[in-house]
Copies of this chain bind each other. A is one copy, B any other.
Amino acid sequence: MDAKGISRAVISRLPRYYRYLGELMEDGVERISSNELSEKMRVTASQIRQDLNNFGGFGQQGYGYNVQYLYTEIGKILGLDHVHHMIILGAGNLGQALANYVQFEKRGFKVVGLFDVNPVLAGVSVRGIEIKMISDLEEFLKNNSVQIAALTLPKNKAAEMADLLVANNIKAIWNFAHLDLTLPENVIVENVHLSESLMRLSYNLNRYVNEHQQ
């Protein structure tokens, strides 16, 4: 399983394969060919085979792919075969939404802490997790194994907090703040910029309207 030099594009598609395979499993489908899957997913069969062969030969000539096996293997590639401990910094609506989203836990992402600066929130519980003050964060990280931190803080706090997280050995940041974090390159940053997503939507909407006005 040589994971070097696999393009971002391929990696981005893996979770979608995983989702479709999960649905096929639920539907009791045992095997599928790249061709059938390509019709379902509206991508080329060639792309599916190319993508998968970056990681290994999961299929069998004349048969196709075993759904359950492929699902499991992609799960392993995505690291879903072990539990990750996650904390959430910022217990506003978005932070609480993430904490409440039980589906994550099913995939092995366990929320072990929830932090905020607002003293009003101190002691409030979300899904059994008590909100702590950010002043307790360093102490918490020293006593607990945490791999992932979700950053749902406003921009002005986020950069500073990211540095604190890295200094305390956090290896991956799920960044919801609207800024680009500059961190050591061994720290994984995955951005979710909602406003940028909304602007893309707006661009396409706008374009459509313009084209049909003329």
Contact = CB atoms under 8 A, between A and B. Distances in A.
Interface of A: 3-4, 11-12, 14-16, 18-19, 77-80, 84, 92-94, 96-98, 100-101, 103-104, 107-109, 147-148, 171-172, 174, 178, 186, 188, 190, 192-211
17 contacts: A12-B200, A15-B196, A15-B199, A78-B202, A79-B206, A80-B199, A84-B202, A93-B96, A94-B94, A107-B198, A108-B202, A148-B201, A171-B208, A172-B201, A172-B204, A190-B204, A192-B194
A3 B79 contact: no
Contacts of A211: 3-4
B190 A197 contact: yes
B78 A171 contact: no
A11 B203 contact: yes
Nearest to A188: B204
Contact of A171 (B11, B172, B205): B205
8 pairs of A and B residues whose beta carbons are closest in the complex: A79-B206, A93-B97, A15-B196, A190-B201, A15-B199, A79-B202, A94-B97, A188-B204
A186 B201 contact: no
Given A14-B200, A15-B195, A109-B198, 5 more contacts: A79-B207, A80-B202, A92-B97, A96-B97, A192-B197
Copies of this chain held together in the complex = 2
Given A195-B104, A206-B78, A211-B3, A201 B174 contact: yes
Contacts of A84: 202, 205
A77 B207 CA distance: 8
A148 B96 CA distance: 25
A16 B200 CA distance: 11
A80 B16 CA distance: 31
Contacts of A206: 77-79
Contacts of A178: 19, 103
Contact of A210 (B3, B198, B199): B3
Nearest to A150: B198
